[in-house]
Amino acid sequence: MAAFTADLVPEAVGRFLVPAFSSGFGWAVVALAVGYYAPTCRSALVTGVGTLALATLTYYGLVAWLSRQWLSGSAPPPDGLGSIMRASAFWLVGSLFGGLVLGYLAHVFRAGTTRNAGTALGVALGLLAGEAAYTVLYIAFVWVGPMDSFVWTRLGSAAVQLLLAAAGTLVALRLCRPQVSLRAFLMAAAVSAVASIAS
């Protein structure tokens, strides 16, 4: 519901809400948190998938039911409800794979050895920060257009995501599980971030 609300607010507010609530980052953080509190590996996998699937169905249900733009055919793309159904199906498949990965990482972080927990947290950080890091690198080294308000909005969103990823990692390190191999964490975060940016 927060992701849907972030799409409705004025752009000046939305540029800060969208990175936190209506992005892969925002949804992944929730799946990780729910998976962390699951008691077993199997339940962490189930809750990871279930959380993302429920979020997907809620978001697109709200889009179809409350916005109702598809009724007039004026919402892009013009095929209206069909596009909502295709997007829902696509993200439900993504929920399956993403939920399994995030649930497993959360479980390993919670119940694994010091080294495995550090590796799991590092992989999660790389995944959470990957999209934002890609945006910053793309604008810094590839973008040849003007530095207009669109580009600055994307940079602002990326900065918010990077700050939230760092804050979430610090909370995990300090509150949830203090015994984590820092070396394993840093190596896994670097490899995961590079892989995420490359993908």
Least confident of 54-58, 119-123, 171-175, 190-194: 171-175
CA angle, 177 then 49 then 199, to 5°: 80
The pLDDT of 163-171, averaged and rounded, is: 89
Q: Is the pLDDT of residue 9 over 90?
A: no
pLDDT > 70 in the chain, percent: 90
Spatial separation of the C-alpha atoms in residues 14 and 2, rounded to whole Å: 11
Q: Is the pLDDT of residue 10 over 80?
A: no
User: Residue 145's pLDDT is what?
Assistant: 83
Highest-confidence segment of 19-28, 65-74, 90-99, 141-150:
90-99
Q: Is the pLDDT of residue 192 over 90?
A: yes
Q: How far is it between the farthest Cα atoms of the chain?
A: 56
The pLDDT of 170-179, averaged and rounded, is: 77
pTM of the model: 0.82
Torsion 79-62-156-99 (CA) sign: negative
Torsion 18-138-195-91 (CA) sign: positive
Least confident of 29-38, 131-140, 151-160: 151-160
Q: Which residues of 166-182 are buried (b: 16+ CB within 10 A; e: fewer)?
A: eebbeebbeebbeebbe
Highest-confidence segment of 74-83, 124-133, 143-152:
124-133
Residue with tokens 């590092």, as numbered in its chain: 122
pLDDT > 90 in the chain, percent: 47
Average pLDDT, the chain: 86
pLDDT digits (tens, 9 = 90+) for 56-99: 999 888 888 876 655 555 545 456 677 888 889 999 999 999 99
